[in-house]
Amino acid sequence: MMRNRHTKTKSRLQCSYKLLKNMDKEVKPWPTTCYLNNDSMFQSTIAREASAAGVGLHTGVFGHVRLLPAPADTGIVFRRTDLDNFPIEAQGHNVARVSYATSLMKQGVLLSTTEHLLAAIYSCGIDNIYIDIDSIEIPILDGSAEPFMQMLEHAGVRKLRRKRRYLKVLEPLEVEEGDRRIGIYPADEFRVRCYVDFPHPLVGQQEVEMVVSPDTFRQLLARARTFCFERDIEPLRSMGLIRGGSLENAIVLTNDGVMNGPLRFPDEFGRHKALDLIGDLALAGLPLLARVEAYKAGHALHTQLVSRLLADPSLWTITTGETAPVEREIQLTTLSPAPATD
Ligand SMILES: [Zn+2]
């Protein structure tokens, strides 16, 4: 079934990559390192627009996504351009149904599969951004966060004059469901540990632990793609899911191997789960100073943790990060000649 859709979807994906490549030509040289610094005391936004297009993994609906600069204290805000720019803030209280992807809903307006784009934005320390989208689902592109990182690199960063606010966790909080669990604990940096265990010869037990920064995200997680088991394809399709799934945007695991190798990392599955976790933690609405440990968790547990954390203000405080490393000056990236401004 997936193979049947392969050709049809491929041409659409080539279209989306063409957009990215065109952007590539506009700004030379293409950056080789991420300029974005999430240790900054000051808020940031992007310096210029960036866009891409592609099919949504679950709905199969083709959409265009455009990243735009936003003023200080805006946060990360999606805008449905097909619905008069209806805004949906990337915050825990807008989480809707969560199963195989994280969906946001506000006043009945839905937006699906936000996690990979949010993981890239959050890891890069972008505090304020508008994400314009003309469909119900964020394009899946190649199934990883790499195309979104390329968009952000094209966009560059612009520091704002307003102090960055962090959500600093003061007390531990744990959520359990059977043998799955997730916990968040006090820390002076944003650190994640993600453990997966799938009974499959290529997966098994995999664990990722890292301090989240633009560089660690880019190097360790951004390229890890989403995956599914071949045996789950028909059941998922009958549930109305993965209508846009193809061998170009998801690793498909057969009973004893992978249908569309090679893998990008031997432990690509565990890395992708960590990517998903970070994307869901972005719904905290502010950069976290906390350590998060996820054990066989998924979108449902990730978002439950965020919702319960936000619902109990005794567990955290908002800090302007006075203890964060002080920068010598407000410095613009080489790609961002725009003045620092709110
Ligand atoms: Zn994912």
Question: 147: CA distance to ligand 1 center in Å?
Answer: 14
pLDDT for the residue numbered 98: 73
CA distance 195 to 206: 6
- Evaluate if residue 239 carries a pLDDT over 80: yes
Tens of pLDDT along 275-317? 999 999 999 999 999 999 999 999 999 999 999 999 999 999 9
Residue 30 has pLDDT above 60, yes or no: no
Note the pLDDT tens digit of each residue in 80-112: 999 999 999 999 999 997 778 999 999 999 999
- pLDDT at residue number 5: 38
Per-residue pLDDT at 6? 37
Rounded Cα distance between 174 and 279, Å, is: 19
pLDDT at 16: 33
Indicate whether 35 pLDDT > 80.
Answer: no
Q: What is the pLDDT of residue 27?
A: 32
Three-class secondary structure of residue 12 per DSSP: helix
By mean pLDDT, which of 66-75, 84-93, 327-336 is the weakest?
Answer: 327-336
Q: What is the pTM (predicted TM-score) of this model?
A: 0.84
The model's confidence at residue 236, banded by pLDDT at 50, 70 and 90, is very high
What is the 187 CA–ligand 1 centroid distance (Å)?
26
CB atoms within 10 A of CB 181: 17
Q: How far is the CA of 131 from the centre of ligand 1 (A)?
A: 18
Ligand 1 centroid distance, CA of 282 (Å): 14
Give how far the C-alpha of residue 285 lies from the chain's centroid of Cα atoms, to the nearest Å. Answer: 13
Neighbours of 15 (CB within 10 A): 14
**Bridge partners of residue 56, in order along the sequence:** 139
Beta strands in the chain (DSSP E): 42-46, 50-55, 62-69, 76-80, 86-89, 95-98, 102-106, 109-111, 129-133, 157-163, 166-169, 173-177, 180-186, 190-198, 204-211, 227-229, 251-253, 288-295, 316-319
**Closest of 280, 293, 329 to residue 96, by C-alpha:** 280
pLDDT confidence of residue 100: 85
Range in 8-22, 77-91, 128-142, 316-330 with the lowest mean pLDDT: 8-22
Q: Which DSSP helix (H) or strand (E) runs through 275?
A: helix 268-281
Residue 340 pLDDT greater than 60, yes or no:
no
Residue 322's pLDDT is what? 59
Q: Is the pLDDT of residue 32 over 90?
A: no
Using the predicted structure, report yes or no on whether residue 329 has a pLDDT greater than 80: no
Would you state the pLDDT for residue 9? 35
pLDDT score recorded for residue 39: 58
> Across the chain, what does the average pLDDT equal?
85
Cα 115 to ligand 1 centre (Å): 7
Q: How far is the CA of 324 from the centre of ligand 1 (A)?
A: 30
**Ligand 1 centroid to residue 165 C-alpha, Å:** 27
Cβ–Cβ contacts within 10 Å for residue 109, how many? 16
Evaluate whether 198 touches 220 at the Cβ level (below 8 Å).
no
Query: What is the distance in A from the centroid of ligand 1 to the CA of 75?
Result: 22
Identify the structural domains of the chain with CATH numbers, from first to last: 2-319 (3.30.1700.10)
Q: Is the pLDDT of residue 135 over 70?
A: yes
Backbone angles phi, psi at 311, to 5 degrees: -75, -15
Lowest-pLDDT range, 14-23, 210-219, 253-262?
14-23
Condensed to tens digits (0 to 9), the pLDDT of residues 149-204 reads 999 999 999 999 999 999 999 999 999 999 999 999 999 999 999 999 999 999 99
d(CA 150, CA 218): 10
What is the rounded distance in angstroms from the CA atom of residue 146 to the CA atom of residue 167?
A: 26
Closest CA to 188 of 44, 324, 37: 324
- If one counts every other C-beta atom within 10 angstroms of the C-beta of residue 337, the result is 11
Active site residues: 299
CA of residue 140 to ligand 1 center, whole Å:
9
What is the 299 CA–ligand 1 centroid distance (Å)?
9
